[in-house]
Amino acid sequence: MNWRRTKAIARKELLHIVRDIRSLILALLLPFVMLVLFGYALSLDVDKIPTIVYDRDHTAESRELIRQFSGTPYFNIIGYAESPADIDRSVDRSQVLLGLVINQDFGKDLRAGREAPVQLLFDGSDSNTASIALGYADALVQNYAFTLKSDAQIKKGGGELKNIVEPRIRVWYNSDLKSRNYIVPGLIAVILMIIASLLTSLTIAREWETGTMEQLLSTPVRPSELVLGKLSAFFVLGLTDLLVCLIAGVFVFDVPLRGSVLLLLASSGLFLFGALCWGVFISASTRSQLIAYQMGTLTSFLPAFLLSGFIYSIENMPVVIQVVSHVVPARYFVSLLKAIFLKGVGWQALWSELLFLLAYAVIVFVLASRKMRQKIA
Q: What DSSP designation does 134 have? A: H
**What are φ and ψ of residue 43, in 5° steps?**
-140, 130
Q: What local confidence, expressed as pLDDT, does residue 51 receive? A: 92
Per-residue pLDDT of the chain (377 residues; tens, 9 = 90+): 667 777 777 787 777 777 777 767 777 777 778 777 777 766 666 788 899 999 999 888 889 889 999 988 889 999 999 988 998 888 888 888 889 998 888 888 887 778 888 888 888 876 777 888 888 888 888 888 877 777 666 666 655 545 444 455 565 677 666 777 878 888 888 888 888 877 777 766 776 677 666 666 666 667 677 777 778 888 888 888 899 889 888 888 888 899 899 999 999 999 999 998 898 888 778 777 778 788 888 888 888 888 888 877 888 788 999 899 999 999 999 999 988 998 888 888 899 999 999 999 999 988 888 887 776 66
Is 17:235 a contact under the CB 8 Å cutoff? Answer: no
CA of residue 240 relative to chain centroid, distance: 21
Q: What DSSP designation does 98 have? A: E
The angle formed by the CA atoms of residues 335, 337 and 341, to the nearest 5 degrees, is 120
Taking the C-alpha atoms of residue 26 and residue 374, their distance in angstroms, rounded to an integer, is 31
Taking the C-alpha atoms of residue 276 and residue 282, their distance in angstroms, rounded to an integer, is 10
Q: What local confidence, expressed as pLDDT, does residue 269 receive? A: 92
Helices (H) and strands (E) in the chain, counts: 16, 4
Handedness of CA 328, 330, 336, 339 (dihedral sign): negative
Count the alpha carbons within 13 Å of 60 in the hemisphere toward its beta carbon. 3
Question: What are the contacts of 367-371 at 24+ separation with CB within 8 A?
Answer: 367/277, 367/281, 368/227, 368/277, 368/278, 368/280, 368/281, 368/284, 369/223, 369/224, 369/227, 370/223, 371/280, 371/281, 371/284, 371/285
Go through the domains of the chain in sequence order and give each one's CATH number: 3-42+178-376 (no CATH), 49-155 (3.40.1710.10)
**What are φ and ψ of residue 51, in 5° steps?**
-130, 140
Q: What local confidence, expressed as pLDDT, does residue 355 receive? A: 95
Closest by CA position to 87, among listed 77, 69, 101: 101
Listing from the earlier edge strand, what are the strands of the sheet with 75-80? Answer: 75-80, 49-55, 98-102, 118-122
Is 137:98 a contact under the CB 8 Å cutoff? Answer: yes
**Total residues found in the chain within this entry:** 377
CA distances from 324 to 3, 112, 327, 364 (A): 38, 58, 6, 18
**What are φ and ψ of residue 54, in 5° steps?**
-120, 95
